[in-house]
Amino acid sequence: MGRGMAAAAALALAMPAAAQDAFRIGVVALPGEEAAIDDLAATKSAYSTALGLPVEVMAARSYAALAEAQIEGRIDYGVYSAAAFAAASLRCGCLSPVAAPVDADGTVGLRAVLIARGDGTGRLAVGAPDSLATRLVPLAASPQARAAQAEGRLVEAGSAAEAEALFLAGKVDGFFGWVPAGAEDGEDAGGSLARLGVAGVDPASFRIVWRSPLLRYGPHAVRDDIAPERAERLARLLEGVAGGGANPGRRILRGHGGFAAVTAADYAPAMEAVSALSNPGR
């Protein structure tokens, strides 16, 4: 999520002239992942078969660079984080999500949560400035976070782990963390709650004071000017992908349990949070 707010950088691979008639997929590659992108022959073949076009996969050094390339039409299809997609959509209104990853256990995203010892009126820690779940969404949607900010009770941490550490050390009364979320939520489990359990914190000593709406995992998105039949083929391709396999590029292009169809409405909470960050006086 953090790289979604990074400064713009050039695409690592320039589009060759011969690729003008190809379908161009853009991904963000962390240092050392370039080889994984080069080893996506099976993935390229699947997309090429579905679309009837040659496929090129291009690496961007940040989500900002990825968005810039797609907005300018240098790539047709981008693999985004939720925050990065929200920022790109707010900027141009020209992108449509096709599908988003699903974990093998059915998790489709997460929820931001406020974990507190009391009622959430004490000192509260938020995570990194570009963290969707532990800072941006809470500041946009949580009454407790907004009140803490207005009253000088908000403590800024450098990461979710640091915010959690402040809570464990008793330096704050609550912190914004996250829990995994399925399409239909059951009991809260995993995420920040699991970490507190590992740390030996008595579950009776805290409670979840606030939960955010569902924050879907980042989507695979196309430009709005893509031919409708091509978008439908992509949706069918992704929805037919199952988990498993040892493709070294799977972290970049595949969900651990496959994909599910999404729409722009699924990213409304992320867009509201990013918009609030851009327009703090709203």
What per-residue confidence (pLDDT) applies to 4? Answer: 31
What per-residue confidence (pLDDT) applies to 182? Answer: 74
Residue 154 C-beta-side C-alpha neighbours within 13 Å: 21
pLDDT in tens, 117-142: 989 999 999 999 999 999 999 999 99
Residues 94 and 232 both lie in one domain: yes
Count of C-beta atoms within a 10 Å radius of residue 199: 11
pLDDT in tens, 92-106: 999 999 999 998 888
Q: What is the mean pLDDT of residues 241-270?
A: 68
Residues 152 and 226 both lie in one domain: no
Average pLDDT of the residues of the chain: 84
Residue 10, pLDDT > 50, answer: no
Residue 248, pLDDT > 80, answer: no
Residues 27 and 167 both lie in one domain: no
Q: What residue numbers bound the domain in which 156 lies?
A: 108-214
Residues 14 and 45 both lie in one domain: yes
Question: Of 197, 214, 231, at which residue does a domain stop?
Answer: 214
What per-residue confidence (pLDDT) applies to 167? Answer: 98
Q: What is the mean pLDDT of residues 180-207?
A: 85
- 3-state class of 215 per DSSP? strand
How does DSSP assign 109-155, residue by residue? EEEEEEEESSSS-S-EEE--TT-IIIIIHHHHH-HHHHHHHHTT-EE
Residues 157 and 230 both lie in one domain: no
Question: Of 186, 214, 242, at which residue does a domain stop?
Answer: 214
What per-residue confidence (pLDDT) applies to 46? Answer: 87
What per-residue confidence (pLDDT) applies to 5? Answer: 31
Residues 119 and 194 both lie in one domain: yes
Residues 236 and 189 both lie in one domain: no
Amino acid 4 reads: G
Question: Of 189, 214, 239, at which residue does a domain stop?
Answer: 214
What per-residue confidence (pLDDT) applies to 200? Answer: 95
Residues 178 and 261 both lie in one domain: no
Residues 135 and 173 both lie in one domain: yes
What per-residue confidence (pLDDT) applies to 36? Answer: 64
Residues 116 and 254 both lie in one domain: no
Q: In degrees rounded to 5, what are phi and psi of residue 244? A: 100, 175
Residues 209 and 113 both lie in one domain: yes
Residues 133 and 271 both lie in one domain: no
How does DSSP assign 50-73, residue by residue? HHTS-EEEEEESSHHHHHHHHHTT
Q: How many domains does the chain have?
A: 2
Residue 48, pLDDT > 60, answer: yes
**Which CATH number fits the domain that encloses residue 16?**
3.40.190.10
Q: What is the mean pLDDT of residues 71-83?
A: 95
Name which of 84-88, 136-140, 185-189 the model is least confident about.
185-189
What per-residue confidence (pLDDT) applies to 185? Answer: 57
Q: Is-contact 174 118, C-beta < 8 A?
A: yes
